């Protein structure tokens, strides 16, 4: 049996990741692949409980190290119970956010280095990495407007952080794309949704066997 493929979608809030994850999953299913669409934090019952712990409550609820450990714990559960088994069965896994979100968001305060965040990933998930990662790139002000319209003033504990924070997150994502061009592709998210999905598919041709 062929090994499955693991694709992650990344970017700030309001960049259209979830819409594209669904569209990509549909397009791949039409091509005959078995697809598991999932998300982080979450994806399994236990990891969804950790999601709730992470995303509700006030800004000071968690120390940044606790926050990073909780994301890594949710990911460990998700990798062990859903992602690895699906890949072993030969399925395609499309994940709305993965390790690059931890690298982009939990590093902003400067208290945790990229190496430390990757160490948590090593311990929790034995360093499982996507075969391809798409970063949906949108000007922060445009993305913030879209996210505000979607959340109607009820953004989560991390989404509700200020614009400087979200600009730093997007700068981190762009840096990852520059550092790892083989795995990570930066996608202009200002285009219409169909054009973006077509571009994602085009950038997966080398992984289709």
* CB 175 to ligand TMP: min, Å: 16
> What is the C-alpha end-to-end distance of the chain, expressed in Å?
12
Confirm if 93 and 6 have CB atoms less than 8 A apart: yes
* CB 173 to ligand TMP: min, Å: 11
* 77 binds ligand TMP, rule: CB under 6 A: no
Confirm if 163 and 13 have CB atoms less than 8 A apart: no
Sort strands 132-137 and 5-10 into parallel, antiparallel or unpaired.
parallel
Site for ligand TMP in 139-198 (CB under 6 A): 156, 158-159
Closest CA to 81 of 18, 128, 120, 113: 128
* 71 binds ligand TMP, rule: CB under 6 A: yes
Q: Which is nearer to ligand TMP, 66 or 202 (CB)?
A: 66
27 CB-near residues (< 8 Å, 6+ apart): 197, 201
* 41 binds ligand TMP, rule: CB under 6 A: yes
* 40 binds ligand TMP, rule: CB under 6 A: yes
For ligand TMP, which residue of 15, 20, 38, 102 counts as binding (CB under 6 A)?
102
Give the footprint of ligand TMP on this chain (CB under 6 A): 13, 39-41, 55, 71, 97, 101-102, 105-106, 156, 158-159
């Amino acid at each position: 049996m062929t090994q499955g493929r693991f694709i992650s979608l990344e970017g700030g809030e309001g960049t259209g990741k979830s819409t594209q994850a669904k569209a990509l999953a549909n397009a791949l299913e039409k091509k005959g692949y078995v697809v598991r669409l999932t998300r982080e934090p979450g994806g399994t019952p236990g990891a969804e409980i950790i999601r709730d712990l992470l995303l509700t409550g006030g800004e000071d609820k968690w120390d940044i190290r606790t926050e990073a450990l909780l994301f890594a714990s949710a990911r460990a559960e998700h990798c062990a119970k859903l992602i690895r088994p699906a890949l072993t069965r030969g399925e395609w896994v499309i994940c709305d956010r993965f390790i690059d979100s931890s690298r982009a968001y939990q590093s902003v305060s400067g208290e945790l280095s990229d190496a430390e965040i990757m160490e948590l990933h090593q311990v929790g998930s034995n360093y499982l990495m996507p075969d391809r990662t798409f970063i949906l790139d949108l000007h922060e002000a445009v993305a913030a407007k879209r996210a505000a319209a979607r959340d109607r003033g009820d953004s989560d504990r991390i989404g509700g952080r200020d614009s400087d924070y979200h600009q730093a997150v997007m700068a981190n994502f762009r840096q990852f794309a520059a550092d790892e061009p083989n795995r990570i592709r930066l996608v202009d998210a200002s285009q219409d949704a169909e054009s973006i999905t077509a571009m994602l598919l085009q950038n997966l041709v080398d992984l289709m066997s």
